[in-house]
Structure 1
Amino acid sequence: MKAKKLLFVSLFINTLYMLPLQAQDWANLAYFSEANAALSASGKTGPRVIFMGNSITKGWPEFVPAFWDNPAYINRGISGQTTPQMLVRFRADVLAHRPDVVVLLAGTNDIAGNTGPMTLEETFGHLQSMAALARLQGAEVVLSAVLPVYDYAWKPGLAPAQKIVRLNGMLRSLAEKEGYGYIDYHSAMADERMGLKPELTYDGVHPNEAGYRVMGPLAEAEIVKALAKK
């Protein structure tokens, strides 16, 4: 019996040591650590527009790399992330670089429950906090509507469509109240079920090239307005 207990303890300890780095670095602060150091050391001048988000932001350069030819644009998207994770890494990945404009696109993974159950009010609060921190530092803020989703393939049955509509209404109201920019991706990309139009997505959640080509001009229009305020 004692030997079995020792074996169990040994296996348990080994399992802890074998946990992936992601489990230890919950917000994935290490993901952009090298890129952040390089940016800080670059002495780069000119405006900085930082895009904070999840896989939709991260995947944009793969589908429409030309959009990111703009030297002002800095991508800080990490796949699968939720808003509390982004809030934790917001100082290191965004504020530390003194951006002129911060573009926030997040919330769909909260609704999908990627890091556990979360209310819309909690998601909204995290986005509100990031926006307030950016403004406090002097950056212009651009909030983005969460893209439409009818169902999540990796977690079906959550009925996200109307939740996204509600969250976007909260974000639009915040933008109007605080004078933030607002990119209405949802209206431009939703079908009759309040999901992504099939021609704009490869999986019902993430945009394809056509989807990003819809998003690009909408984002640029709000960024131009934001930069004009500086």
Structure 2
Amino acid sequence: MINSYLKYIFTFWFIACGLNAYSQKEVINWSGLQKYSVDNIAIGKASVVFMGNSITENWVKYHPEFFKENNYTGRGISGHTSYQFLLRFREDVIKLNPRIVIINAGTNDIAENCGPYVEEYTFGNIISMVELAQSNGIKVIMSSVLPALAFKWNPSVKDAVAKIQSLNKRLKEYAVKNDIPYIDYYDKMVDSADGSMCVDYTKDGVHPNLKGYLVMESIVKPFIERCMKQ
């Protein structure tokens, strides 16, 4: 069942990108399986893993003290979509056997980094990660997609705000229904006038600056502490 699902993901991506054939090396490179392979071996076991894209990767670079002082592990890869998250979830999360994983996915799906955005697929990928974590005894904290008015690298996406709000609504409903902690970064960081990220928290409208990350830290840390006590 799992192998068939992974085969479907591989096929979907390469069709979307207009490729008729692909090598194992291309698949591995695209999935990001090797980016943290050395670090994962060195760590052995993590306490808390942040699974994400460039927003998570930059977080570790902008404020490494937050991760080091709290024994948190960042597993973000720039440009990654939920499809890639799912493919590397075993390597970057399950094998580290953390107590908690925080999943932040959706931005690059909506930005169409991997072809046309389909909410059902993105939502399904996130739920699959939740189920994989839970089946391995890992507590899950789900989080909202951060606000964004547009994506400079793909200006053809004209309805980012509506898509982000729709996915967030669905994620929150799932989290509430299944008694999973849900972090709402969106409401704390959005400019309610147009749905963009508050200018104080970003330089490019998509990625937080240090001030934005400090806001996120103030939100996520209490969730982690509560989960640790349970």
TM-score (norm 2): 0.85
Letter in 2 for 1:77: G
Letter in 1 for 2:130: A
Aligned to 2:226: 225
1:172-206 Cα offsets, whole Å, 9 max, x none, are 01111111111100000000211101111010100
Aligned to 1:66: 65
Aligned to 2:9: none
Deviation at 1:87, TM superposition (A): 0.2
Letter in 2 for 1:207: P
SS of residue paired to 1:31: coil
Letter in 2 for 1:31: K
Q: Say if 2:26 is the partner of 1:25.
A: no
Q: Say if 2:126 is the partner of 1:127.
A: yes
Q: Distance in 2 between matches of 1:139 and 1:205?
A: 29
Where does 1:1-230 land on structure 2 (aligned, <5 Å)? 25-40=29-44, 48-158=47-157, 159-191=159-191, 192-229=193-230
Q: Distance in 2 between matches of 1:83 and 1:129?
A: 10
Deviation at 1:85, TM superposition (A): 0.5
Q: Distance in 2 between matches of 1:81 and 1:29?
A: 12
Deviation at 1:62, TM superposition (A): 2.1
Which stretch shifts more, 68-77 or 91-100? Answer: 68-77
Aligned to 1:10: none
Which stretch shifts more, 69-78 or 177-186? Answer: 69-78
Deviation at 1:64, TM superposition (A): 1.9
1:105-125 Cα offsets, whole Å, 9 max, x none, are 010100011011131111010
SS of residue paired to 1:70: helix
What percent identity do the matched residue pairs reach? 41
Contact 1:146 1:186 in 2 (8 A): yes
SS of residue paired to 1:26: helix
Structure 1: stretches of 5+ with no match in the other structure: 1-18
Contact 1:22 1:28 in 2 (8 A): no
Contact 1:50 1:75 in 2 (8 A): yes
Deviation at 1:22, TM superposition (A): 5.9
1:194-226 Cα offsets, whole Å, 9 max, x none, are 110111101010000111011001010111121
Q: Distance in 1 between matches of 2:156 and 2:76?
A: 26
Deviation at 1:162, TM superposition (A): 1.0
* Aligned CA-pair RMSD: 1.6
Contact 2:140 2:181 in 1 (8 A): yes
Classify 1:71/1:217 alpha carbon distance in 2 versus 1 (closer, same or farther; 3 Å).
Answer: closer
